[in-house]
Structure 1
Protein backbone atom coordinates (compact mmCIF):
# COMPACT_ATOMS: atom_id res chain seq x y z
CA UNK A 1 0.00 0.00 0.00
CA UNK A 2 1.28 3.45 -0.95
CA UNK A 3 1.39 5.73 2.08
CA UNK A 4 2.91 8.74 0.17
CA UNK A 5 0.93 11.89 0.97
CA UNK A 6 -1.47 12.89 -1.80
CA UNK A 7 0.23 16.25 -2.45
CA UNK A 8 3.60 14.58 -2.73
CA UNK A 9 2.29 11.88 -5.09
CA UNK A 10 0.66 14.59 -7.21
CA UNK A 11 3.90 16.59 -7.32
CA UNK A 12 5.89 13.53 -8.38
CA UNK A 13 3.32 12.64 -11.02
CA UNK A 14 3.35 16.12 -12.53
CA UNK A 15 7.14 16.32 -12.35
CA UNK A 16 7.46 13.06 -14.27
CA UNK A 17 4.93 14.27 -16.83
CA UNK A 18 6.85 17.53 -17.23
CA UNK A 19 10.18 15.76 -17.67
CA UNK A 20 8.61 13.35 -20.15
CA UNK A 21 7.02 16.19 -22.09
CA UNK A 22 10.33 18.06 -22.24
CA UNK A 23 12.04 14.91 -23.46
CA UNK A 24 9.43 14.43 -26.18
CA UNK A 25 9.69 18.11 -27.16
CA UNK A 26 13.48 17.91 -27.32
CA UNK A 27 13.25 14.77 -29.42
CA UNK A 28 10.73 16.35 -31.80
CA UNK A 29 12.90 19.48 -32.07
CA UNK A 30 15.90 17.31 -32.88
CA UNK A 31 14.04 15.43 -35.60
CA UNK A 32 12.73 18.72 -37.03
CA UNK A 33 16.20 20.29 -36.88
CA UNK A 34 17.81 17.39 -38.74
CA UNK A 35 15.13 16.18 -41.17
CA UNK A 36 12.69 19.09 -41.40
CA UNK A 37 14.07 22.59 -41.50
CA UNK A 38 17.27 21.88 -43.48
CA UNK A 39 15.03 20.87 -46.42
CA UNK A 40 12.53 23.74 -46.03
CA UNK A 41 14.02 26.43 -48.26
CA UNK A 42 12.62 29.93 -47.87
CA UNK A 43 12.55 32.51 -50.66
CA UNK A 44 13.03 36.07 -49.39
CA UNK A 45 12.33 39.10 -51.58
CA UNK A 46 14.25 42.30 -50.78
CA UNK A 47 13.33 45.61 -52.42
CA UNK A 48 15.80 48.50 -52.31
CA UNK A 49 16.29 51.82 -54.10
CA UNK A 50 19.55 53.60 -54.95
CA UNK A 51 20.46 56.89 -56.58
CA UNK A 52 23.12 55.20 -58.72
CA UNK A 53 20.88 52.37 -59.86
CA UNK A 54 20.02 52.94 -63.55
CA UNK A 55 16.37 53.28 -64.47
CA UNK A 56 16.71 50.84 -67.38
CA UNK A 57 17.53 48.09 -64.86
CA UNK A 58 14.33 48.61 -62.85
CA UNK A 59 12.54 45.34 -62.15
CA UNK A 60 15.60 43.21 -62.80
CA UNK A 61 15.70 40.15 -60.54
CA UNK A 62 19.04 39.43 -58.87
CA UNK A 63 18.89 36.01 -57.22
CA UNK A 64 21.41 34.94 -54.55
CA UNK A 65 22.20 31.56 -53.05
CA UNK A 66 25.12 30.64 -50.85
CA UNK A 67 26.89 27.98 -48.78
CA UNK A 68 25.55 24.79 -50.33
CA UNK A 69 28.20 22.77 -48.43
CA UNK A 70 27.73 19.72 -50.62
CA UNK A 71 28.64 16.70 -48.51
CA UNK A 72 27.27 13.39 -47.23
CA UNK A 73 24.49 15.46 -45.66
CA UNK A 74 23.68 17.51 -48.78
CA UNK A 75 23.89 15.50 -51.97
CA UNK A 76 23.03 15.66 -55.65
CA UNK A 77 19.30 15.12 -55.10
CA UNK A 78 19.21 18.14 -52.79
CA UNK A 79 21.19 20.20 -55.31
CA UNK A 80 18.82 19.21 -58.11
CA UNK A 81 15.83 20.42 -56.10
CA UNK A 82 17.66 23.65 -55.27
CA UNK A 83 18.38 24.26 -58.95
CA UNK A 84 14.69 23.87 -59.74
CA UNK A 85 13.73 26.35 -57.01
CA UNK A 86 16.34 28.85 -58.20
CA UNK A 87 15.14 28.62 -61.79
CA UNK A 88 11.55 29.29 -60.69
CA UNK A 89 12.70 32.72 -59.52
CA UNK A 90 13.39 33.66 -63.17
CA UNK A 91 16.76 35.30 -62.41
CA UNK A 92 18.12 38.04 -64.62
CA UNK A 93 21.38 37.78 -62.67
CA UNK A 94 22.29 34.77 -60.53
CA UNK A 95 24.99 35.02 -57.85
CA UNK A 96 26.60 32.41 -55.61
CA UNK A 97 28.54 33.69 -52.59
CA UNK A 98 30.80 30.77 -51.75
CA UNK A 99 31.35 27.41 -50.04
CA UNK A 100 30.22 25.01 -52.74
CA UNK A 101 31.53 21.90 -50.96
CA UNK A 102 32.02 21.22 -47.26
CA UNK A 103 35.69 20.79 -46.40
CA UNK A 104 35.00 18.53 -43.41
CA UNK A 105 32.41 16.10 -44.74
CA UNK A 106 32.50 16.54 -48.51
CA UNK A 107 34.79 16.17 -51.48
CA UNK A 108 35.12 17.97 -54.79
CA UNK A 109 33.19 16.26 -57.57
CA UNK A 110 32.40 17.05 -61.19
CA UNK A 111 29.01 15.40 -60.66
CA UNK A 112 27.56 18.78 -59.71
CA UNK A 113 28.40 20.34 -63.09
CA UNK A 114 25.39 18.98 -65.05
CA UNK A 115 23.07 20.19 -62.28
CA UNK A 116 24.55 23.69 -61.93
CA UNK A 117 24.69 23.98 -65.73
CA UNK A 118 20.88 23.80 -65.81
CA UNK A 119 20.74 27.20 -64.11
CA UNK A 120 20.12 30.04 -66.54
CA UNK A 121 20.11 33.81 -65.99
CA UNK A 122 19.55 36.41 -68.69
CA UNK A 123 22.60 38.52 -67.87
CA UNK A 124 24.85 35.84 -66.44
CA UNK A 125 25.86 33.74 -63.43
CA UNK A 126 28.57 34.97 -61.05
CA UNK A 127 30.35 33.53 -58.03
CA UNK A 128 32.98 34.13 -55.40
CA UNK A 129 34.81 31.49 -53.37
CA UNK A 130 34.36 30.86 -49.65
CA UNK A 131 36.69 29.75 -46.90
CA UNK A 132 35.79 26.06 -47.37
CA UNK A 133 36.53 26.38 -51.09
CA UNK A 134 40.00 27.77 -50.44
CA UNK A 135 40.61 25.25 -47.67
CA UNK A 136 39.94 22.44 -50.17
CA UNK A 137 41.27 23.46 -53.60
CA UNK A 138 40.42 26.90 -54.97
CA UNK A 139 41.60 26.08 -58.48
CA UNK A 140 39.54 22.89 -58.74
CA UNK A 141 36.38 24.50 -57.38
CA UNK A 142 36.86 27.49 -59.68
CA UNK A 143 37.08 25.01 -62.55
CA UNK A 144 33.88 23.25 -61.45
CA UNK A 145 31.99 26.55 -61.20
CA UNK A 146 33.29 27.83 -64.54
CA UNK A 147 32.42 24.58 -66.29
CA UNK A 148 28.94 25.07 -64.81
CA UNK A 149 28.66 28.47 -66.49
CA UNK A 150 29.57 30.75 -63.58
CA UNK A 151 32.09 33.57 -63.90
CA UNK A 152 34.21 33.40 -60.75
CA UNK A 153 35.31 36.86 -59.61
CA UNK A 154 38.53 37.06 -57.60
CA UNK A 155 39.27 40.76 -57.03
CA UNK A 156 37.63 41.42 -60.37
CA UNK A 157 34.49 42.83 -61.95
CA UNK A 158 32.05 42.37 -64.77
CA UNK A 159 30.12 45.18 -66.49
CA UNK A 160 26.51 44.43 -67.38
CA UNK A 161 24.85 46.74 -69.86
CA UNK A 162 21.22 47.34 -70.68
CA UNK A 163 20.72 49.91 -73.39
CA UNK A 164 23.09 52.79 -72.72
CA UNK A 165 23.34 52.12 -68.96
CA UNK A 166 25.44 49.73 -66.92
CA UNK A 167 25.96 48.19 -63.51
CA UNK A 168 29.00 46.32 -62.22
CA UNK A 169 29.20 42.95 -60.47
CA UNK A 170 32.36 42.96 -58.33
CA UNK A 171 33.81 40.03 -56.41
CA UNK A 172 36.63 39.88 -53.86
CA UNK A 173 38.80 37.03 -52.66
CA UNK A 174 37.79 35.46 -49.35
CA UNK A 175 39.30 36.78 -46.13
CA UNK A 176 40.70 33.79 -44.19
CA UNK A 177 42.89 32.14 -46.79
CA UNK A 178 42.81 34.59 -49.70
CA UNK A 179 43.86 38.17 -50.35
CA UNK A 180 40.82 40.39 -50.89
CA UNK A 181 41.70 43.56 -52.77
CA UNK A 182 38.69 45.81 -53.25
CA UNK A 183 40.57 48.76 -54.84
CA UNK A 184 41.87 46.36 -57.50
CA UNK A 185 38.39 44.92 -58.05
CA UNK A 186 36.94 48.42 -58.48
CA UNK A 187 39.66 49.60 -60.84
CA UNK A 188 38.26 51.30 -63.94
CA UNK A 189 34.72 51.64 -62.57
CA UNK A 190 33.27 55.14 -62.63
CA UNK A 191 32.24 56.51 -59.23
CA UNK A 192 28.75 57.25 -60.56
CA UNK A 193 28.02 53.67 -61.60
CA UNK A 194 26.13 51.17 -59.46
CA UNK A 195 28.27 48.45 -57.85
CA UNK A 196 27.01 45.12 -56.53
CA UNK A 197 29.73 43.50 -54.43
CA UNK A 198 30.01 39.76 -53.75
CA UNK A 199 32.07 38.99 -50.63
CA UNK A 200 31.81 35.66 -48.85
CA UNK A 201 32.33 37.01 -45.32
CA UNK A 202 29.72 39.63 -44.35
CA UNK A 203 31.98 41.53 -41.96
CA UNK A 204 33.96 42.66 -45.01
CA UNK A 205 31.25 45.34 -45.14
CA UNK A 206 33.18 47.49 -42.65
CA UNK A 207 35.81 47.97 -45.35
CA UNK A 208 33.44 48.02 -48.32
CA UNK A 209 31.37 50.83 -46.81
CA UNK A 210 34.31 53.19 -47.33
CA UNK A 211 34.27 52.66 -51.11
CA UNK A 212 31.86 53.42 -53.94
CA UNK A 213 29.90 50.21 -53.34
CA UNK A 214 26.12 50.19 -53.13
CA UNK A 215 25.10 46.68 -52.07
CA UNK A 216 27.22 43.83 -50.67
CA UNK A 217 25.89 40.26 -50.81
CA UNK A 218 27.46 37.71 -48.47
CA UNK A 219 26.96 34.31 -46.87
CA UNK A 220 29.33 32.42 -44.54
CA UNK A 221 27.42 32.78 -41.25
CA UNK A 222 24.46 30.52 -42.18
CA UNK A 223 22.47 33.05 -40.15
CA UNK A 224 23.75 31.23 -37.08
CA UNK A 225 22.23 27.93 -38.33
CA UNK A 226 20.71 27.26 -34.88
CA UNK A 227 18.77 30.19 -33.44
CA UNK A 228 17.02 30.08 -30.07
CA UNK A 229 13.80 32.13 -29.84
CA UNK A 230 14.25 35.38 -27.85
CA UNK A 231 18.00 34.71 -27.68
CA UNK A 232 19.44 34.51 -31.19
CA UNK A 233 22.12 32.35 -32.71
CA UNK A 234 24.02 29.87 -30.58
CA UNK A 235 27.19 30.34 -32.64
CA UNK A 236 28.38 32.50 -35.52
CA UNK A 237 31.79 32.13 -37.18
CA UNK A 238 34.57 34.70 -37.22
CA UNK A 239 33.98 37.43 -39.84
CA UNK A 240 30.29 36.56 -39.77
CA UNK A 241 29.38 37.86 -36.35
CA UNK A 242 28.74 41.56 -36.84
CA UNK A 243 26.39 41.22 -39.82
CA UNK A 244 25.22 37.66 -39.30
CA UNK A 245 21.75 37.57 -40.85
CA UNK A 246 19.59 39.61 -43.19
CA UNK A 247 19.80 43.27 -44.20
CA UNK A 248 21.92 45.99 -42.61
CA UNK A 249 22.15 49.65 -43.56
CA UNK A 250 24.91 52.12 -42.74
CA UNK A 251 23.97 55.53 -41.35
CA UNK A 252 24.65 58.45 -43.64
CA UNK A 253 25.07 56.27 -46.75
CA UNK A 254 23.02 54.22 -49.18
CA UNK A 255 25.29 51.22 -48.63
CA UNK A 256 23.69 47.95 -47.50
CA UNK A 257 24.97 44.47 -46.76
CA UNK A 258 22.72 41.45 -46.98
CA UNK A 259 23.78 38.17 -45.35
CA UNK A 260 22.06 35.17 -46.86
CA UNK A 261 21.37 32.26 -44.46
CA UNK A 262 22.83 29.78 -46.91
CA UNK A 263 21.52 26.44 -48.10
CA UNK A 264 23.53 23.67 -46.46
CA UNK A 265 24.97 23.06 -43.02
CA UNK A 266 28.41 22.57 -41.50
CA UNK A 267 29.74 21.13 -38.23
CA UNK A 268 26.28 19.73 -37.39
CA UNK A 269 23.65 18.76 -40.01
CA UNK A 270 21.05 20.79 -38.12
CA UNK A 271 19.06 23.96 -38.68
CA UNK A 272 16.65 25.33 -36.11
CA UNK A 273 14.65 28.56 -36.45
CA UNK A 274 16.97 29.45 -39.34
CA UNK A 275 15.64 28.08 -42.61
CA UNK A 276 17.90 27.79 -45.68
CA UNK A 277 17.39 30.73 -47.97
CA UNK A 278 17.20 31.93 -51.56
CA UNK A 279 17.15 35.72 -51.79
CA UNK A 280 15.61 37.71 -54.64
CA UNK A 281 16.64 41.37 -54.92
CA UNK A 282 14.45 43.79 -56.84
CA UNK A 283 16.16 47.16 -57.12
CA UNK A 284 14.86 50.52 -58.24
CA UNK A 285 16.17 53.99 -58.91
CA UNK A 286 15.78 56.36 -56.00
CA UNK A 287 14.29 59.64 -57.13
CA UNK A 288 16.24 62.63 -55.82
Structure 2
Protein backbone atom coordinates (compact mmCIF):
# COMPACT_ATOMS: atom_id res chain seq x y z
CA UNK A 1 0.00 0.00 0.00
CA UNK A 2 1.32 3.46 -0.88
CA UNK A 3 2.03 6.15 1.71
CA UNK A 4 -0.89 8.18 0.35
CA UNK A 5 -3.21 5.19 0.65
CA UNK A 6 -2.05 4.54 4.21
CA UNK A 7 -2.61 8.18 5.14
CA UNK A 8 -6.09 8.11 3.60
CA UNK A 9 -6.96 4.99 5.59
CA UNK A 10 -5.60 6.54 8.80
CA UNK A 11 -7.55 9.74 8.19
CA UNK A 12 -10.72 7.78 7.50
CA UNK A 13 -10.30 5.64 10.58
CA UNK A 14 -9.67 8.72 12.72
CA UNK A 15 -12.81 10.35 11.37
CA UNK A 16 -14.93 7.28 12.09
CA UNK A 17 -13.50 7.08 15.60
CA UNK A 18 -14.14 10.79 16.21
CA UNK A 19 -17.73 10.68 14.95
CA UNK A 20 -18.92 7.33 16.27
CA UNK A 21 -16.51 6.61 19.12
CA UNK A 22 -14.87 9.35 21.11
CA UNK A 23 -17.73 11.84 21.13
CA UNK A 24 -19.78 9.36 23.20
CA UNK A 25 -16.85 8.18 25.39
CA UNK A 26 -17.38 10.32 28.48
CA UNK A 27 -14.43 10.82 30.80
CA UNK A 28 -14.95 11.14 34.54
CA UNK A 29 -12.36 13.46 36.05
CA UNK A 30 -11.74 14.31 39.72
CA UNK A 31 -10.06 17.55 40.82
CA UNK A 32 -9.00 18.13 44.43
CA UNK A 33 -8.37 21.69 45.61
CA UNK A 34 -7.89 23.45 48.94
CA UNK A 35 -8.57 27.08 49.83
CA UNK A 36 -8.03 29.26 52.86
CA UNK A 37 -11.57 30.64 52.54
CA UNK A 38 -13.19 27.25 52.10
CA UNK A 39 -15.23 26.38 55.22
CA UNK A 40 -14.09 23.23 57.01
CA UNK A 41 -17.74 22.29 57.58
CA UNK A 42 -18.00 21.59 53.83
CA UNK A 43 -14.82 19.51 53.58
CA UNK A 44 -15.25 16.60 51.21
CA UNK A 45 -18.26 18.10 49.43
CA UNK A 46 -18.56 16.65 45.94
CA UNK A 47 -19.34 19.29 43.33
CA UNK A 48 -20.17 17.74 39.96
CA UNK A 49 -19.99 19.86 36.79
CA UNK A 50 -21.31 19.06 33.34
CA UNK A 51 -21.68 21.46 30.44
CA UNK A 52 -22.54 22.03 26.78
CA UNK A 53 -24.90 19.14 26.08
CA UNK A 54 -26.00 20.80 22.81
CA UNK A 55 -29.15 18.73 22.54
CA UNK A 56 -30.49 18.44 19.02
CA UNK A 57 -29.58 16.66 15.82
CA UNK A 58 -26.26 15.37 17.11
CA UNK A 59 -27.12 14.63 20.75
CA UNK A 60 -30.31 12.88 21.74
CA UNK A 61 -32.48 12.60 24.83
CA UNK A 62 -31.34 8.99 25.23
CA UNK A 63 -27.75 10.16 25.38
CA UNK A 64 -28.68 12.87 27.88
CA UNK A 65 -30.27 10.18 30.08
CA UNK A 66 -26.92 8.37 30.08
CA UNK A 67 -25.17 11.57 31.17
CA UNK A 68 -27.65 11.99 34.02
CA UNK A 69 -26.96 8.44 35.21
CA UNK A 70 -23.20 9.07 35.17
CA UNK A 71 -23.59 12.32 37.10
CA UNK A 72 -25.70 10.58 39.76
CA UNK A 73 -23.16 7.78 40.09
CA UNK A 74 -20.65 10.38 41.29
CA UNK A 75 -22.78 10.89 44.42
CA UNK A 76 -22.96 14.67 43.99
CA UNK A 77 -23.60 16.99 46.92
CA UNK A 78 -23.93 19.92 44.51
CA UNK A 79 -24.49 19.90 40.73
CA UNK A 80 -23.43 22.69 38.37
CA UNK A 81 -24.42 23.02 34.72
CA UNK A 82 -22.47 25.69 32.86
CA UNK A 83 -24.60 26.37 29.82
CA UNK A 84 -25.64 25.43 26.28
CA UNK A 85 -28.38 22.93 27.03
CA UNK A 86 -29.67 23.03 23.46
CA UNK A 87 -27.83 23.59 20.19
CA UNK A 88 -29.10 26.72 18.46
CA UNK A 89 -28.06 25.46 15.01
CA UNK A 90 -29.39 21.89 15.07
CA UNK A 91 -31.74 21.77 18.05
CA UNK A 92 -34.95 23.25 19.36
CA UNK A 93 -36.45 24.08 22.73
CA UNK A 94 -38.25 21.09 24.21
CA UNK A 95 -39.90 20.22 27.51
CA UNK A 96 -38.98 16.59 26.90
CA UNK A 97 -35.69 17.11 28.74
CA UNK A 98 -37.46 18.03 32.00
CA UNK A 99 -38.23 14.51 33.27
CA UNK A 100 -34.64 13.48 32.46
CA UNK A 101 -32.91 16.42 34.16
CA UNK A 102 -35.32 16.09 37.09
CA UNK A 103 -33.64 12.78 37.94
CA UNK A 104 -30.55 14.69 39.02
CA UNK A 105 -30.50 14.96 42.80
CA UNK A 106 -28.03 16.77 45.05
CA UNK A 107 -28.67 17.67 48.68
CA UNK A 108 -26.98 21.08 48.36
CA UNK A 109 -28.82 21.96 45.17
CA UNK A 110 -28.56 22.13 41.38
CA UNK A 111 -27.33 25.37 39.80
CA UNK A 112 -27.01 26.55 36.21
CA UNK A 113 -26.10 29.46 33.96
CA UNK A 114 -27.08 29.99 30.34
CA UNK A 115 -24.71 29.67 27.39
CA UNK A 116 -24.47 31.53 24.11
CA UNK A 117 -26.51 28.87 22.26
CA UNK A 118 -29.23 29.09 24.92
CA UNK A 119 -29.28 32.86 24.50
CA UNK A 120 -29.54 32.65 20.71
CA UNK A 121 -32.27 30.03 20.85
CA UNK A 122 -34.63 31.30 23.57
CA UNK A 123 -33.11 32.46 26.88
CA UNK A 124 -36.38 32.70 28.79
CA UNK A 125 -37.51 29.33 27.43
CA UNK A 126 -34.27 27.55 28.31
CA UNK A 127 -34.29 29.13 31.75
CA UNK A 128 -37.85 27.89 32.28
CA UNK A 129 -36.89 24.35 31.25
CA UNK A 130 -33.96 24.32 33.66
CA UNK A 131 -35.99 25.74 36.52
CA UNK A 132 -38.79 23.24 35.97
CA UNK A 133 -36.10 20.55 36.07
CA UNK A 134 -35.12 21.67 39.57
CA UNK A 135 -32.16 23.92 38.75
CA UNK A 136 -31.60 27.34 40.25
CA UNK A 137 -30.58 29.50 37.28
CA UNK A 138 -28.26 32.30 38.33
CA UNK A 139 -28.13 35.42 36.13
CA UNK A 140 -25.95 38.02 37.86
CA UNK A 141 -27.18 36.48 41.10
CA UNK A 142 -26.04 34.31 43.98
CA UNK A 143 -27.23 31.71 46.43
CA UNK A 144 -25.77 30.96 49.84
CA UNK A 145 -25.45 27.39 51.08
CA UNK A 146 -25.29 26.98 54.84
CA UNK A 147 -24.07 24.20 57.08
CA UNK A 148 -24.09 24.92 60.79
CA UNK A 149 -22.49 28.31 61.31
CA UNK A 150 -20.62 28.17 58.00
CA UNK A 151 -21.66 29.07 54.48
CA UNK A 152 -20.37 29.28 50.95
CA UNK A 153 -21.73 31.01 47.89
CA UNK A 154 -22.65 29.86 44.40
CA UNK A 155 -22.64 32.81 42.01
CA UNK A 156 -23.75 32.90 38.38
CA UNK A 157 -22.88 35.50 35.78
CA UNK A 158 -24.90 36.48 32.71
CA UNK A 159 -23.68 35.20 29.34
CA UNK A 160 -20.99 37.38 27.74
CA UNK A 161 -21.99 37.53 24.05
CA UNK A 162 -25.70 38.25 24.36
CA UNK A 163 -26.20 39.16 28.01
CA UNK A 164 -24.94 41.82 30.38
CA UNK A 165 -22.56 40.23 32.88
CA UNK A 166 -22.35 42.24 36.10
CA UNK A 167 -20.09 40.59 38.64
CA UNK A 168 -20.42 43.28 41.36
CA UNK A 169 -24.19 42.77 41.22
CA UNK A 170 -23.78 38.99 41.23
CA UNK A 171 -21.57 39.20 44.34
CA UNK A 172 -23.92 41.48 46.25
CA UNK A 173 -24.35 40.21 49.80
CA UNK A 174 -21.25 38.03 49.83
CA UNK A 175 -18.45 38.70 52.31
CA UNK A 176 -14.79 39.05 51.38
CA UNK A 177 -13.74 36.21 53.71
CA UNK A 178 -16.32 33.72 52.35
CA UNK A 179 -15.74 31.13 49.65
CA UNK A 180 -17.26 31.94 46.26
CA UNK A 181 -17.87 29.41 43.49
CA UNK A 182 -18.57 31.24 40.22
CA UNK A 183 -20.39 29.74 37.24
CA UNK A 184 -19.56 31.52 33.98
CA UNK A 185 -20.22 29.92 30.60
CA UNK A 186 -17.26 31.55 28.86
CA UNK A 187 -13.93 30.71 30.54
CA UNK A 188 -12.19 33.92 29.49
CA UNK A 189 -14.41 35.76 31.97
CA UNK A 190 -11.70 34.70 34.42
CA UNK A 191 -9.75 37.85 33.54
CA UNK A 192 -12.57 39.80 35.19
CA UNK A 193 -13.31 37.32 37.98
CA UNK A 194 -9.73 37.29 39.26
CA UNK A 195 -10.08 40.97 40.20
CA UNK A 196 -12.86 40.16 42.66
CA UNK A 197 -13.35 37.97 45.71
CA UNK A 198 -13.88 34.78 43.70
CA UNK A 199 -12.15 31.50 44.48
CA UNK A 200 -13.11 29.01 41.78
CA UNK A 201 -14.70 29.65 38.39
CA UNK A 202 -16.33 26.77 36.51
CA UNK A 203 -16.85 27.24 32.77
CA UNK A 204 -17.53 25.39 29.54
CA UNK A 205 -18.07 26.86 26.05
CA UNK A 206 -14.77 25.88 24.40
CA UNK A 207 -15.45 22.11 24.23
CA UNK A 208 -11.69 21.90 24.71
CA UNK A 209 -11.47 22.58 20.99
CA UNK A 210 -13.26 19.27 20.13
CA UNK A 211 -10.37 18.29 17.84
CA UNK A 212 -6.94 18.36 19.49
CA UNK A 213 -3.87 17.37 17.51
CA UNK A 214 -1.06 15.79 19.57
CA UNK A 215 1.86 18.19 20.16
CA UNK A 216 -0.16 21.00 18.56
CA UNK A 217 -3.37 21.52 20.49
CA UNK A 218 -6.87 22.43 19.34
CA UNK A 219 -7.53 23.33 15.72
CA UNK A 220 -10.23 25.83 16.67
CA UNK A 221 -11.62 27.40 19.82
CA UNK A 222 -14.44 29.95 19.96
CA UNK A 223 -14.11 33.56 21.01
CA UNK A 224 -14.02 33.99 24.80
CA UNK A 225 -12.79 30.42 25.09
CA UNK A 226 -9.31 30.86 23.68
CA UNK A 227 -7.22 31.98 26.64
CA UNK A 228 -8.41 29.29 29.07
CA UNK A 229 -9.22 26.53 26.60
CA UNK A 230 -9.32 23.37 28.65
CA UNK A 231 -8.67 22.08 32.15
CA UNK A 232 -7.44 23.78 35.31
CA UNK A 233 -5.64 27.13 35.44
CA UNK A 234 -3.94 28.61 38.49
CA UNK A 235 -2.72 32.17 38.92
CA UNK A 236 0.44 33.49 40.51
CA UNK A 237 0.08 35.03 43.98
CA UNK A 238 -3.58 34.02 44.10
CA UNK A 239 -5.69 31.04 45.13
CA UNK A 240 -8.09 31.75 42.28
CA UNK A 241 -8.60 28.94 39.75
CA UNK A 242 -10.64 28.58 36.58
CA UNK A 243 -11.65 25.20 35.28
CA UNK A 244 -12.80 24.77 31.67
CA UNK A 245 -14.87 21.65 31.20
CA UNK A 246 -14.68 19.99 27.75
CA UNK A 247 -18.45 19.66 27.63
CA UNK A 248 -20.67 16.77 26.63
CA UNK A 249 -21.94 17.48 23.12
CA UNK A 250 -20.50 19.03 19.98
CA UNK A 251 -21.19 22.03 17.81
CA UNK A 252 -20.63 22.80 14.12
CA UNK A 253 -19.29 19.28 13.45
CA UNK A 254 -20.34 16.07 15.28
CA UNK A 255 -16.78 14.98 15.99
CA UNK A 256 -14.28 14.82 18.83
CA UNK A 257 -10.68 13.75 18.54
CA UNK A 258 -8.23 13.56 21.45
CA UNK A 259 -10.79 15.60 23.41
CA UNK A 260 -13.28 13.33 25.14
CA UNK A 261 -16.55 14.68 26.57
CA UNK A 262 -16.26 15.25 30.29
CA UNK A 263 -18.00 15.14 33.65
CA UNK A 264 -15.89 16.72 36.40
CA UNK A 265 -16.01 16.07 40.14
CA UNK A 266 -14.48 18.70 42.42
CA UNK A 267 -13.60 17.69 45.97
CA UNK A 268 -12.74 20.81 47.96
CA UNK A 269 -11.10 21.20 51.34
CA UNK A 270 -10.04 23.92 53.73
CA UNK A 271 -6.34 24.80 53.45
CA UNK A 272 -4.49 24.46 56.71
CA UNK A 273 -3.13 27.77 58.09
- The TM-score with structure 1 as length reference comes to 0.94
Deviations 1:130-154 (A, max 9, x none): 0000001100000000000000000
Deviations 1:209-268 (A, max 9, x none): 000000000000000110001100000000000000000011111000000000000000
Report 1:1-288 matches (<5 A).
Answer: 16-288=1-273
TM superposition outliers: structure 1 runs of 4+ over 4 Å = none
Aligned length, in residue pairs: 273
Unaligned runs of 5+ in 1: 1-15
1:22 Cα shift? 1.2
Unaligned runs of 5+ in 2: none
1:56 Cα shift? 0.7
1:162 Cα shift? 1.0
SS of residue in 2 equivalent to 1:183: helix
Separation in 1, partners of 2:8, 2:177: 59
Q: Which residue of 2 aligns with 1:9?
A: none
Which entry has the higher C-alpha Rg, 1 or 2?
1
1:201 Cα shift? 0.3
- The TM-score with structure 2 as length reference comes to 0.99
Separation in 2, partners of 1:166, 1:188: 12
Separation in 1, partners of 2:220, 2:35: 33
Deviations 1:152-197 (A, max 9, x none): 0000000001111000000000000000000001011111100000
1:23 Cα shift? 1.3
